[in-house]
Each structure stands twice: as C-alpha cells, then as structure tokens.
C-alpha cells in the first residue's frame, strides 16, 4: 500500500489518473474513502490524490501534532513527496480548514481551494460549549456518542448506510484527533481570508445542521477570489450525498485553473 512520510508521520494515500492534480482532504475522523465518487469521476482526466491525514484511517495515529498547523504542513510535505505541481486542494469540513491554511501559508504552491462545508469561524463563535460536551461524551462512551452525532451530518433523505460507514471510519481512527476540537474553539479565519490570493470555491449543503450555510457564504465574500454555491438536498457531507453536483463544481474550478482564469467577483447560488 502507498505511504509517504510527512513531518515524521506515515500517511496513507491513493494516487490515480493524470493531468492537473487534485488533492482531497477528508473531515474529522474519517478517511480518504469518503471521496470514492470524486475519484471515480475525476481520475479519468486528472491526477487525483486522496490522503488519510494524521490520526485517521490507515495513516499513523501519533499522540502529538494533532493541530491545524501541523496538518497544513503535512499537506505541503506530501505535495513535495508526490511532486504535485500547484494542485487544487479540496477539503471537507475540518479538511477544508487545513486546505485553506496550507493555501494561505504557501499560495504560490497551490492552484486553488475548494472548501466543502468548512467550519470556518463557527467552532469559535457558535459551537464552543457543544464541542466541550462532545469531547466529554466521546471520552465517556465513544461508540455511543458517535451513534448519536454522526447521523446528524446527513440530510434526512440520505442513505442511512452513509452514516454507518462514517461512524465505522471514525472508530478506526485514533482518539488523539479529539484535541483538534479544543484548538478549533480559538480558530477564526475571517481576519486572514482576504490575504488568500488563489481562487476559493466554497460549497455548502443547504441542509447542513452542523455548520450554518452563512459561514461559507461569509468566507466567500471575504476572499479575494471567492465563490459560493449551496448544494440542495445535502447536509454536512454534500460530496457523498449529492456527488454529481459537487463534482460538476470541482470540474469548473479545474477548468478555470487549466485556462488560467479566476472569478472576477464573488458569486453565489
């Protein structure tokens, strides 16, 4: 199986197809497996890489380094290991935070960012107390806490199997990633997002009950080349719930990158 070492941590990745590279970053506790519908579509004409970030899936589960800054550094290190030339970084939920931070830190190395239901400033502004309660519940009975919480990530019309698959992935990941909840209580990218010099597409499930739609809309408006799109009939995981709609938007971002064009103004739908 393919592994690459980044900052002393062994990361599992998949790498398929050729063309403009796309690097997919999953959300908290899951793995690169959540991008199956995107890999199947995009690898036909692009180089598609998925990674299980540190503490998750098939990668190492270190007790330290479970921070946004370290994960962003891991992304840049993996890009070096795989010789990814200005990839489009696509992140879901907390993976979107990592993607944005990597792009802010090294914009010359990134072709663009796609944030899918990213939490943005919401953990520090609207979720502080719930996240503390969640950490306590996870520490007390992790399987039960996940069984209660994970189904809320999906819209009512989503296949129940998606929630069960997601719960199982999280149980296979390490407990050390819970530290990211404490850190997110202090995270607010609004002051920095205006420095983002690459195109940034913000996608959000309209039925997301975890992170309000307006978080992505606000960040898109603050970004220099930001664009916002809502995905109908989708909750917090639109790339799994409505993959065709999400894939079409990612393809638009890739086409612009290939053509060397960027949005002239923030647009939304």
Q: What is the pLDDT of residue 264?
A: 54
Q: What is the pLDDT of residue 261?
A: 80
What global pTM score does this model have? 0.96
Residues ≥6 apart with Cβ < 8 Å to 235: 152, 153, 154, 155, 158, 205, 207, 208, 209, 210, 241
Give alpha helix (H) positions in 106-237: 122-125, 128-140, 142-149, 160-172, 179-184, 213-222
Inter-residue contact 22 to 42 (CB < 8 Å): yes
What Rg do the C-alpha atoms of the chain give, in angstroms? 17
> What is the chain's pLDDT, residue by residue, as a tens digit (269 residues)?
699 999 999 999 999 999 999 999 999 999 999 999 999 999 999 999 999 999 999 999 999 999 999 999 999 999 999 999 999 999 999 999 999 999 999 999 999 999 999 999 999 888 888 889 999 999 999 999 999 999 999 999 999 999 999 999 999 998 999 999 988 888 899 999 999 999 999 999 999 999 999 999 999 999 999 999 999 999 999 999 999 999 999 999 999 999 888 765 445 55
Q: Which CATH superfamily is domain 3-258 in?
A: Alpha/Beta hydrolase fold, catalytic domain (3.40.50.1820)
Q: What is the pLDDT of residue 252?
A: 97
Report the alpha-carbon angle 102-16-73, nearest 5: 20
Tell me the domain boundaries of the chain. Answer: 3-258
- 3-state SS assignment for residue 248: helix
The encoded tokens of residue 103 equal 């792009």
Inter-residue contact 149 to 134 (CB < 8 Å): yes
Q: What is the pLDDT of residue 142?
A: 97
Q: What is the pLDDT of residue 128?
A: 82
Q: What is the pLDDT of residue 263?
A: 63
Inter-residue contact 139 to 106 (CB < 8 Å): no
């Amino acid at each position: 199986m393919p592994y690459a070492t980044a900052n002393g941590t062994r990361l599992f990745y998949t790498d398929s197809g050729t063309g403009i590279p796309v690097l997919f970053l999953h959300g908290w506790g899951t793995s690169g497996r959540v991008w199956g519908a995107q890999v199947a579509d995009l690898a036909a004409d692009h180089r598609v890489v998925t990674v299980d970030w540190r503490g998750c899936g098939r990668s190492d589960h270190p007790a330290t380094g479970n921070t946004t800054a370290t994960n962003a550094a891991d992304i840049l290190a993996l890009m070096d290991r795989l010789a990814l030339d200005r990839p489009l970084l696509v992140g879901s939920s907390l993976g979107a935070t990592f993607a944005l931070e990597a792009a802010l830190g090294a914009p010359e190395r990134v072709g663009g960012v796609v944030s899918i239901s990213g939490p943005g400033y919401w953990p520090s502004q609207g979720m502080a107390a719930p996240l503390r309660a969640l950490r306590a519940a996870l520490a007390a009975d992790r399987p039960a806490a996940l069984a209660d919480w994970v189904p809320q990530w999906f819209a009512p019309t989503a296949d129940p199997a998606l929630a069960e698959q997601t719960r199982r992935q999280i149980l296979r990941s390490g407990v050390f990633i819970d530290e990211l909840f404490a850190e997110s209580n202090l995270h607010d990218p609004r002051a920095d997002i205006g420095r983002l010099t690459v195109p940034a597409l913000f996608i959000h499930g309209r039925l997301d009950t975890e992170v309000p739609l307006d978080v992505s809309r606000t960040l898109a408006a603050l970004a220099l080349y930001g664009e916002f799109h809502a995905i109908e009939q989708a909750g917090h995981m639109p790339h799994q719930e409505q993959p065709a709609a999400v894939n079409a938007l990612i393809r638009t971002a890739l086409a612009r990158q290939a053509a060397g064009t960027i949005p002239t103004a923030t647009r939304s739908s």
